[in-house]
Structure 1
Amino acid sequence: MSALGALEAAAGSGGTALFRPLSAEDGEQRPAEIESLCMNCYRNGVTRLLLTRIPFFKEIIVSSFACNSCSWSNTEIQSAGRIQEQGVCYSLAVTSRQDMDREVVKTECATARIPELDFEIPAFTQKGVLTTIEGIIDRALAGLEQDQPLRRETDEEVARKIEEFIRRLRQLKELHSPFTFILDDPSGNSFVENPHAPRKDEALVVTHYRRSPQQAAMLGLEGEEVAEKAADPAEELRNEVLQFNTNCPECNAPASTNMKLVQIPHFKEVIIMATACDSCGHRTNEVKSGGAIEPQGTRITLRITDPSDMTRDILKSETCSVEIPELEFELGMGALGGKFTTLEGLLKDIRELVERNPFTLGDSSAPSKAEKLQEFVGRLQEVIEGRRNVHFIMDDPAGNSYLQNVYAPEEDPELRVERYERSFDQNEELGLNDMKTEGYETPAR
């Protein structure tokens, strides 16, 4: 039977509490003793376990090991409870001798700092201890002084700097000046005594906070954090790339499509879908609106005056038409599908759409028609290169297209966004005329 099990059995038979308040006057509280291996000389020593409760805090397990063979000893504490829902940070203004005597529970995952001295004891560099503020400083002094004789022989400059730091640390211990002691524990199981409890301690500030993903990983809680995030399906979609199997539209071989929900600043959420085929190398991408059809249509007009306009982000939905009046060009709804790219990227896609068609610029095209289209491609290339100023117009009856305002949230002098009421034909094309979502009744049976 383990020591904890033995103590539980003893407490059950005697009718006493397993965890009793920590008190110097309690002579009946006896630790359990267990014979255990000494990790210094590998002979048997004795480990003593004491289960106790710190007033206004929680239950802890104090363990102490001593070896009679080599005189090696070690003490540490462990929390008897689970990791808390939130981390905790204690900030104490140390101004008196009484403050130095305050009890401190420092777990192994806690970080202790003294900002005035730029001094820090990082997490997981020491075992958990039940001590005082003075005791923590004494342990730090002992650790720094331990290898000083060797440092003086090997690196006198480093030894001199550490000696100076030890002198300043001793001055803090003797309270030559007030200082701040900070104890930060992401597990929430560390503690600094409030001698005025249950009243508020003006010198002690206790802050509870939500652990960061890095702190949760450090405590081994990655699974718990993921479970919390998975509780919100919308948040999970925003942070995850979904993948599903499909067939390549070119060679019909099995392929995969990636889908991601993206928030466009000053606009709305969209769904980006990308398909890549390993067999033939075909790649496609498409964008769909993540929201509903807007109450009004949107007409966006941009006057292209500078090459930097080509870098503007653009979202063209599948219901959006594109027009460039100066080039007598119009791209109807459904052409090119949904796109989330830059203005330059969309204009290049339009150019490729014209050049790829064998009936326009190929061997099957009429010479007069091919000449006009070649002229159009050349003028479009001038727009892409910033050598021709034109008006770029996007007309989306569904209101789900977007062109970046580089001055946001201020108005863009070259960009005009107009809202308009859709016509009957536009509503018919969007399937809205026969759609009724309110004011209807379920027929009686």
Structure 2
Amino acid sequence: MASRDPIVDVGLAVEAVSADDDAVPLHQIESLCMRCGENGTTRLLLTRIPHFREIILMAFECPHCNERNNEVQFAGELQPRGCWYRLEVPSGDQKMLNRQVVKSDSATIKIPELDFEIPPEAQRGKLSTVDGMLLRAVDELQALQEERKKVVPETAEALDQFLMKLKSCATGEIPFTFILDDPAGNSFIENPFAPSLDPSLTIKFYERTPEQQEALGFLVASSQSGERETQGIIESLTEGRRGDSVESRGEPHGSIGAVAGHRAIAQGNSEEVAAALFKYTAPEEVMTFPSTCGACGVRCETRMFVTKIPYFHEVIVMASSCDACGYRSSELKPGGQIPEKGKTITVHVQSVLDLSRDVIKSDTASVKIPQVDLELTSGTLGGVVTTIEGLITKISESLERVHGFTFGDSLDDQRKSKWIDFRARLIKLLSLEEPWTLIIDDALANSFVAPITDVLEDDHQLTFEEYERSWEQNEELGLNDMDTSSADVHTTQQLNK
């Protein structure tokens, strides 16, 4: 080696590459080669990945035995929900195979046609392409084939036949389905048509199970009792009763909330969110109960209250803050029963007054702006409470953050100019040079845009349209398998009394 510097602590290396500097340095440390036992060089670089967040790229190279490998470690936080990607790959489409894939340490890759699965521990955090992931799996399965042929020749022969099929998928000779499932929510498959929808790519977000929470390092020892406690608090709030949980407590109106100058509950919300919510109604009662921090996993407190929004329905506001790491989060949940119909909200934006309209976008809502060919699927950006101007700003910042990596030297000029032009058109919406239309489609009707008139019917630029949900939408929301017969009997008995 040309350099004989002492081995640098990895923690210090991470701090060095995490420095807030426009030109992030490529940090090098001396590390042990697990193949020959000599010292090699590991290079660390903090960067961002499209549709993704901060990651640390690590590349190791040994000059003695020429051993080389690379690894991805995630520098950001775990996401609130898991993600599930399904990519339909036709035969003979090399561009589909060249799509970028980020697989986190907790992600699983599946190919249903071959009954094949790459578990999380098989390939650690990796940045590659669709065919790169499959070829890597082929290489790992072939590593001990010679020994298998001597010991268990039948198994080796069956594996050879399977590897031929897997190679055919990797080279695009046969069509297949590529599924990426990550409970941490830190994996992704590239969408070359973004921000438009990709007809070959399906993306879903889901709530993690207690087992998945535990595997990711969350405290779930009393998850079932915690869920029952939380449900009881929600029921007590929506029914106007005080919760009877021992650990939860109710705090009187005025000690927390709008009357007290947005104390406590605002600590877990941004000022804009708190102002947007409290100007409708002040919470009659704020419930506080123990929970787990989504960033560091230690115990913290979550505050919850119910508020009524005019022309809308009851919503449950939840906010939590962690004293240990400073993490804050806020969430808006619908109150009451599930609406029988979905809702489409259309706003014709023509003036600055329209940009100031309050917007509640739930995590089941999709967003469309036809004038700029923008379409966000449900789950994108999560649930937010903001204004129309704030929503456009959030979309612009999100696109700039997740696509900053694609503006590098590897991007062709045509795609680069396309993204720059789209970003300019998106920001141009806020200047109101031309009127434009915002469409929010929510299958659960839990989204809302505030009118600018005292009477909703007098606001001719805002329209609400209800529609019957399709079977596919009900299936995705889990409504087809929902059994409410016992609840209906209980309700009937209460009414009879």
TM-score, L = length of structure 1: 0.48
Structure of higher CA gyration radius: 1
TM-score, L = length of structure 2: 0.43
